[in-house]
Amino acid sequence: MMTPARDTSSPVARARSIVACGLAYLAAWIVFLAGELIWAANRDGPPQNAWQRLLAADIDTLVYLLFLVAAPIAWFRGGTNSGGSGGRLLRVWQCGQSWLKRVAQSPRGSIHRGAALSAVVAAASLATSACVGEKFNHLPPAYHDEYSYLFQAKTFLAGRVSYPCHPAAPLFDQMHVLNDGRFASRYFPGTGAWLVPFVAMGHPWGAQWLAGALCASLVFWCGRELAGDLAGLLAGLLTALAPGMALFSNLLLAHHPTLVGLSLFLLGYLRLLRRPSLGWAFAAGAGLGFAALCRPMTAAGVALPFGLHCLWWWLGSSKKNESDLAETDQVSRTLSLREGSPDSHQTVTGRPEMPANRDRRAPTRVVLAMAAPLLACGGLMFVYNASITGSGWKTPYSLYTDLYTPRHVYGFENVVRGERRVGPRVIEKYDAWAENLTPKLAAHNVVRRLIASGQWTLGLIPLSLALVAGLARWTDLNTGTRLIFAGIVSLNAVHVPYWFVGMHDYHYVFESGPLWLLWTAAVTIESLRVWHVQRRDVMAIWCLALLVAAVTMNYGIRGGLWSTPLDKGLAEVLFPRIRYGRFAARIADEVAPRPALVLVDDDPSDRHIDYVVNDPDLAADVLMGRYLPNTIPVAEIRRLYPERTLFLYRVRDDVLQKIPSEQ
């Protein structure tokens, strides 16, 4: 199931290959030198000459410099007729290549091999997530969002979608939890539902580890659809070992459940490109529907190009009264023939035909099969919204923004528009954090998100090479690969009108990570095939060595300019987790007798640590409340909770004390 052989030995094909490789190589040097110059300009201390800069360089800088310098040697070295040690190395490569060819060209009927490879990918993902998780030593979550998702999962676990608000509602205002009329998480219901069984088992992070493994496995099958088993294995392993996936699999956020849905959608749609199927159409719709129940903006961003392509196919097929969602390029023709199924055949012209019992299936039925689960998920969201906000068209997310953080609204001039709607429930210290979005800030955010996407997936230099090489050979890529790239562009585009660049500069476009790796795998396999036909096998060795080096540096060095900021990311997550852990330990040791209510006097300068976190039923042995003496006096709290011992915790002074009964 390798990408089928094209005429890559012709002068035109050779010229196209040279141009693509040359442009990619030039782009890599531009990115490399620009990054180094920016680093040098921002560096404190006396200026350095080139030799001093080289000696002081990070490991990843030196490694990528070595690869860039070695690339022309590998290109002109050529390969298969070389003698000596180089020839022996190439013979070893050819033996490995022969094995890879057998794996990649095995018929699709060999489902057991695909299952085995996907299991390897899933195991690698689980191992990576667990290894990173050990660094957090079972500490509490780090971000407000995580506590809100836990709140939602516990609400669902109790068989409810929300709770009534307490009579003194502001006392229990919790970050990213709606507390006006109904007491519920602001977030969409998919993530909480995904977490439920693991919250019940007491290990919520297991849900994220499982989601990461499922995503990596589904990415393998997507890559297999694009360019065969080898592409699938490469994409799956790069996804499983991506540092961004490893870090975020230990955060209780919506990204990983969203990726499960999106990966299923991609697989279903890529299968539809090869052959119409009501089952795969339904699977694609169900995956996209679940992703929309987790992160609707992200789901829409990724799916937009696919939706336009589906609409184009449906309209075109309706005119011809055909059911032919399968690709017409040579890749899909070869894949269908090699599947070995008895109903696969081909016309004289080489255009694939649908089997006799399927070739008249109406395109509308395929579209409806995809739309049905999407509509069902939309109906579920409508009911969920209505049960909390009173209107199916008003989401808890948007209502929370209106009430508590109006300056965080989506779109340009967000602060200017939000200040006109500031009300009594606004969380001033958090709402004032927002920056007013201008075109300049939006452009700056886009660049930062793209840089972070490269760092958190594979590394900026390898991703730059794959990006330019793929774009230069755009016409050689199949429809599925082009749609993958369009999904990346679309996802970044829909987040342009938001002022915040994202956690770790990345989380708003996090779901583009596996798409980047699918693109890289497809371009890599296409390049390996072309280089082999044109007898440039040393370039294949260079390319695969670069990928191995990139993955190794992502975990083997403590930071760097071109590799992932994993070490920095771990430190950023560990800091709040340690603070929450210390607070929880202090409450466990010092709050007695119980039941008790701890009133928290916030530090106005700290926007990102908030200790008012409760279970949704407000029935725990120790409750956390806000210290609001001007709004809800202590005497009123004592009247509401006569059976609880009252404590006051002043965050700025780190003082925990019992409130005297006479106060």
Sheet of 645-650, strands arranged across: 622-626, 596-601, 645-650, 655-658
- Is residue 317's pLDDT more than 90? no
Q: Which residue has the tokens 């006569």?
A: 642
With pLDDT > 90 as the criterion, what percentage of the chain qualifies?
Answer: 68
More confident residue, 57 or 335: 57
- Helix, strand, coil shares, percent, the chain, to 5: 65, 5, 30
DSSP class of residue 346 equals B
- Would you tell me how many other CB atoms lie within 10 Å of the CB of residue 506? 26
Q: Please check the confidence at residue 242 and state whether its pLDDT lies above 60.
A: yes
Cα end-to-end span (Å), the chain: 77
CA distances from 282 to 66, 201, 374 (A): 48, 31, 9
**Whether the Cβ atoms of residue 254 and residue 187 lie closer than 8 Å to each other:** yes
Task: Please give the average per-residue pLDDT across 84-95, as a whole number.
Answer: 51
- Quick one: how far is CA 389 from the chain centroid? 29
pLDDT of residue 320: 57
> What's at 469, amino acid-wise?
A
Ranges 46-60, 64-78, 259-273, 540-554, most confident: 259-273
The helix (H) or strand (E) run that includes residue 596 is strand 596-601
Position 538 confidence tier, pLDDT thresholds 50, 70, 90? confident
Dist. CA 447–CA 495, nearest whole Å: 12
pLDDT at 49: 52
pLDDT surpasses 90 at 91: no
Beta-carbon neighbour count of residue 580 at 10 Å? 21
Place of tokens 């022969």: 98
Structure tokens at 550: 């990139």
At 176, list the tokens.
């990213």
Across the range 362-384, mean pLDDT stands at 94
How would residue 259 be classed by pLDDT, with cut points 50, 70 and 90?
Answer: very high
* Matching residue, tokens 């939890």: 177
d(CA 75, CA 24): 13
81: pLDDT strictly greater than 80:
no
- At residue 448's C-alpha, the angle toward residues 447 and 450, to 5°, is 65
pLDDT at 345 over 50: no
Q: How confident is the model at residue 319 (pLDDT cuts 50, 70, 90)?
A: low
Of the two residues 6 and 253, the one the predictor is more confident about is 253
349-366 tens-digit pLDDT: 333 333 333 444 568 899
pLDDT at 640: 93
- Residue 645's alpha-carbon distances to 34, 169, 627, in angstroms, are 61, 19, 15
Instruction: Note the pLDDT of residue 15.
Output: 79
Beta bridge partners of 648: 599, 657
What ranges in 433-511 are assigned the alpha helix state H?
439-457, 460-472, 479-494
**Does residue 101 have a pLDDT over 60?**
no
Domain boundaries, the chain: 11-133+209-251+438-568, 570-658
Phi, psi of 220 (to 5 degrees): -55, -50
**Rounded Cα–Cα distance for residues 111 and 115 (Å):** 6
The angle formed by the CA atoms of residues 548, 243 and 120, to the nearest 5 degrees, is: 65
What residue type is 288 in one-letter code? L
* Helix or strand holding residue 625 (H, E): strand 622-626
> Which residue type does 517 have?
L
> Phi and psi (nearest 5°) for 142?
-105, -35
Q: What angle do CA 658, 146, 453 make, to 5 degrees?
A: 140
In this structure, the strands spanning 622-626 and 645-650 are unpaired
User: Quick one: pLDDT at residue 17?
Assistant: 79
Residue 8 has pLDDT above 80, yes or no: no
Calculate mean pLDDT across residues 45-62: 60
Q: What is the DSSP letter of 3?
A: P
Check whether 309 has a pLDDT greater than 60: yes
Peptide bond just before 189 cis, omega within 30 deg: no
Residue 366 CB contacts under 8 Å (≥ 6 apart), including other chains: 272, 276, 277, 278, 281, 323, 325
Cα 516-518-521 angle, rounded to 5 deg: 110
Question: What's the burial of 39, exposed, middle or buried (CB within 10 Å: 0-12/13-18/19+)?
Answer: middle
Q: What confidence tens digit (pLDDT) does each residue in 596-615 have?
A: 999 999 998 888 899 999 99
Q: Which residue has the tokens 């007013």?
A: 436
CA gap 73, 389 in Å, rounded: 65
Per-residue confidence band for 540, with pLDDT thresholds at 50, 70 and 90: confident
User: Distance between CA atoms of 471 and 458, rounded to whole angstroms?
Assistant: 18
Average pLDDT on 66-80 reads 83
The Cα 595–Cα 641 span in angstroms is 10
* 111 — pLDDT class (breaks 50, 70, 90): confident
* Residue 340, phi then psi, degrees to nearest 5: 80, 10
| H-assigned helices in 505-593 | 512-533, 537-556, 566-590
Mean pLDDT of 10-37: 84
565 cis-preceded (ω within 30 degrees of 0): no
- In this prediction, residue 133 carries a pLDDT of 94
Which pLDDT band holds residue 281 (cuts at 50, 70, 90)? very high
Element (H, E) at 337: helix 330-338
What span, in angstroms and rounded, lies between the C-alpha atoms of 326 and 150? 42
Mean pLDDT of 537-556: 90
Task: Answer whether 523's CB lies under 8 Å from 480's CB.
Answer: no
Instruction: Give how far the C-alpha of residue 98 lies from the chain's centroid of Cα atoms, to the nearest Å.
Output: 34
More confidently predicted of 263 and 559: 263
Span 191-212, pLDDT tens digits: 999 999 999 999 999 999 999 9
Stretch 92-111: mean pLDDT? 54
At a CB cut-off of 8 Å and minimum separation 6, what does 398 contact?
none
Structure-token pair, residue 97: 């290549």
- Segment 526-535, tens digit of pLDDT: 888 888 778 8
pLDDT at position 4: 42
Q: Which run of H or E residues covers position 182? A: strand 182-185
Average pLDDT, the chain: 86
Instruction: State mean pLDDT over 401-424.
Output: 94
Stretch (H or E) spanning 198: helix 189-201
Give 10's Cβ-side CA count (13 Å radius). Answer: 6
Q: What is the pLDDT of residue 143?
A: 95
Closest to 100 (Cα-Cα) out of 292, 290, 232, 252: 232
